[in-house]
Structure 1
Amino acid sequence: MLNGQVTKTTIKQAVLRSLFVLGLAGSVLNPSLSQAQSINAGGREAVAENPFKVQEVAAFNTPWAIAFLPDQRLLVTEKAGHIFLTDQKGKKTEVANVPPVSFEGQNGLLDIAVSPDFATDKLVYFTYAEPERSGKDVLSSLTFARAKLSEKDGKASLDDLTVLWRQMPKSKWGQPGGIIAFSPDGKYLFLTSGDRMNPKTAQDPKLALGKVLRFNRDGSVPQDNPRSDLAGQDADNARALTWTTGHRNPYGLAFAADGKLWLHEMGPKGGDELNLIKQGLNYGWPVVSNGTQYSGEAIPHHETRPEFEPPVIYWTPVIAPAGLAFYEGGLFKDWKGSALIGGLASMALIRVAFKDNGDADEAERYDMGNRIRDVAVAKDGSVYVIEDDIPGRLLRLTPK
């Protein structure tokens, strides 16, 4: 307010905040966003011959995530609550001081990401299901933490661990989400939070479930978040941290080279999605989906509700996407700019190509013969994938 008068900016901010609460901001300000036709890539077949050779680097017990350090060693999480520092030759060093996790069903130790300033701060960020017993049940919170990765005399440990955020209330169910992505400028952290198998939570603005959340790197609320004015008014800052709404089970989140943020999430029976993430939009779950309930009950499709943002690509039958990385290396020249997605149910590595106008489609599918949990790209342009298995192999892919 200037000189006792309401400015146009103030009015616009008030309107945006009201629309955000309703989940309508994107479709009202730009109706064309919700009118695009989604592509169903679910019935695609794998290519006849993979264009890469496969080298086994190391093996793990139900690994979940991989992340490169600047020196190109990898951090690998195991779902049961272990982290390993692994070099390119497969030598493994277990990292000490990992916090206890609730390892059951889909829960456990989840994603790990390396600080953009790791050379100076040595920080790693990670997510896990933090356990708490309640009677006969083991409850858990999706927990977002950081710690200093210390190395000495051939040993490694997590030191000075700080919990940045806990999802509340606690739950005994799966679908935690937990994928971390740094903004291209390194200032902000984005985190996926699943609906914990309670679909209606994804549309509840007071719960940080079924959402994408945006943090400062210290875990605080960025002042330019859509509802930063509500910071401190929820037990877990749910409304103040929410960036987008209406997600089910998001296990992939990454920025493309052009700065756009992409997310994939598992649908119910059908309807896995690849979404372009834009501030304040509502992606519809569980009101709409391009899949159906496991019971066979129909769910209205995205096209029936234009106020919700539709996926760019969906997969029916499902691929069960897990892990997401954008390829900007030099070894696979045809892959430049593509998204690489691990497939669990599809036992595949899926390549998605993008056009200049922003359209995307599955370009190729590579049969891997096992469930692929995560994917990452090394500095030399080789691609690393991890299998969801016991043992689950860490594999290096290079051109034939």
Structure 2
Amino acid sequence: MRVLQQAVIGFALLVGFLPLAFSQTFPSDAGPFQLETIAEGLEHPWSLAFLPDGSALVTERPGRLRIIQNSSLATKAIHGVPQVAAAGQGGLFDVILHPDFASNNTLFLSYAHDSSEGMTTRVARAVLDNNELKTLKVIFEALPRSNGTRHFGGRMAFDSSGYLYIAVGDRGEKDRAQDTRDDAGGVHRITIDGEPAPGNPGLGSSAIRDTFYTWGNRNIQGMTVHPQTGEIWTHEHGPRGGDEVNILYAGTNYGWPEITYGIGYSGLPITSDTHKEGMAQPLHYWDPSIAPSGMALYSGELFPQWQGDVFVGALKLRKLVRLGTNENDKVIAEEDLLLDLNERIRDVRFGPDGALWLLSDARQGKLYRMAPTQ
């Protein structure tokens, strides 16, 4: 409770005394809301994490970790970030705090890494000490590496048991997502030391790598924890159509590329199948593709009418999507928000102040806060 109180007080400081550079009102089915600019000048920001003292961390895809304190983006980046491969879709991806960050200052970074054997997705653990990362250790590396610069995945989440979930894309080689002896195209579950989590479906099997939790995933760039059930919700990019929202269940095959609601970029079918025995159906899918990125389940009091709704950013269609769900986790409503903003929404987070926070993906990207109109 003390950590939560500190966070709320800190964010009151973060947004309460900010002379807004930009504030605009937008419509929604629940009434108008206000979008406030909190920070500008972020180079392709990718992920946002809230610290207990009210400050916030932001990753920039070229390889910088930035901090926002007292309503201001610090000029100097945090020192000690591992070297990243900022090529194609590669770069610095997610930042996530250890469940006991308030006592150990430990955080985790996902990023693209390059070597003579090719590129891959890595995760490193480090301690944040003032403006520096210390005792950095790589705890996960997806193998085998490959030469492509697409579909790294990179989103992460902790479950209630303290296990870390890591999304790895199919690396642009779709058949890898069905090969459970290849780390690409799935979600991995590990301990904070990088060991396979107890209960993983591949433990004791030579046919499934022991860190796998799910497979048949094309390129997950949205991951969040349901505040009531503790389930891990994700969304992933389809090709031309077929973006999906899913709930992760251990040992589940989500079908890519054996089943899909999308078609290839050439316009030709990938498969004629949308269903196949032993492969999961999505909770929701988009056709045409919206290119989803970032994900939050809303559980705050600022927007009581949005309790339990899912918010997803869209890169291609430049909007924020609200999905209304019922008690059975069925999507029963869909609403497009921020159409007039016309920005690529890279990340969506539910903040400790009860607001929704967004990152826009651009050379001069921004951090926004969504709150009710005064």
Does the alignment reach a TM-score above 0.5? Answer: yes
Alignment partners' CA distance in 1, 2:44 and 2:298: 25
Aligned-pair CA distance for 1:49: 9.6
Q: SS state of the match for residue 328, structure 2? A: coil
Aligned counterpart for 1:100 among listed residues 83, 87, 97: 83
Q: SS state of the match for residue 145, structure 1? A: strand
Alignment-derived partner of residue 149 in structure 1: 128
CA contact 1:340–1:375 (8 Å) conserved in 2: yes
Superposition pairs of residues 265-276 of structure 1, within 5 angstroms: 265-276=236-247
Q: SS state of the match for residue 119, structure 1? A: helix
Alignment partners' CA distance in 1, 2:189 and 2:301: 32
Alignment-derived partner of residue 284 in structure 2: 313
Give the alignment's TM-score, normalised by structure 2: 0.87
Give the alignment's TM-score, normalised by structure 1: 0.82
Alignment-derived partner of residue 86 in structure 1: 68
Alignment partners' CA distance in 2, 1:63 and 1:274: 23
Which residue identity lines up with residue 60 of structure 2 in the other structure?
E
Alignment-derived partner of residue 253 in structure 1: 223
The C-alpha deviation readout for 1:304-362, integer Å capped at 9, x for no partner, is 42321111100001111100111111101111111111111121111112111221244
Which residue identity lines up with residue 317 of structure 1 in the other structure?
P
The C-alpha deviation readout for 1:192-231, integer Å capped at 9, x for no partner, is 010000000000011011011111121101221112225x
Which residue identity lines up with residue 66 of structure 2 in the other structure?
F
Cα distance change of structure 1 residues 143 and 48 upon mapping to structure 2, 3 Å threshold: same
Cα distance change of structure 1 residues 302 and 182 upon mapping to structure 2, 3 Å threshold: farther
CA contact 1:114–1:123 (8 Å) conserved in 2: yes
Aligned counterpart for 1:329 among listed residues 277, 285, 300: 300
Aligned counterpart for 2:153 among listed residues 171, 177, 184: 177
Alignment-derived partner of residue 345 in structure 2: 372
Cα distance change of structure 1 residues 133 and 256 upon mapping to structure 2, 3 Å threshold: same
Q: SS state of the match for residue 308, structure 1? A: coil
Segments of structure 2 that go 5 or more residues without pairing to the other structure are 1-26
Alignment-derived partner of residue 135 in structure 2: 160
**1:262 aligned to 2:233?**
yes
Which deviates more, 352-361 or 205-214?
352-361
Aligned counterpart for 1:120 among listed residues 99, 103, 108: 103
CA contact 2:261–2:274 (8 Å) conserved in 1: no
CA contact 1:222–1:228 (8 Å) conserved in 2: no
Alignment partners' CA distance in 1, 2:69 and 2:175: 43
RMSD between superposed Cα atoms in Å:
1.8
The C-alpha deviation readout for 1:268-321, integer Å capped at 9, x for no partner, is 111100012111111110111100011122133554423211111000011111
Counting matched residue pairs gives: 341
For the pair shown, the structure with the greater C-alpha radius of gyration is 1
**Higher relative contact order (CA closer than 8 Å, sequence separation 6+):** 1
Q: SS state of the match for residue 39, structure 2? A: strand
Cα distance change of structure 1 residues 203 and 88 upon mapping to structure 2, 3 Å threshold: farther
Alignment partners' CA distance in 2, 1:50 and 1:195: 40
Alignment-derived partner of residue 214 in structure 2: 244
Superposition pairs of residues 338-377 of structure 1, within 5 angstroms: 338-366=309-337, 367=339, 368-377=341-350
Aligned-pair CA distance for 1:172: 2.2
CA contact 1:330–1:380 (8 Å) conserved in 2: no
Q: SS state of the match for residue 71, structure 1? A: coil
Alignment-derived partner of residue 43 in structure 1: none
Which residue identity lines up with residue 174 of structure 2 in the other structure?
P
Which deviates more, 203-212 or 304-313?
304-313
Aligned-pair CA distance for 1:63: 0.8
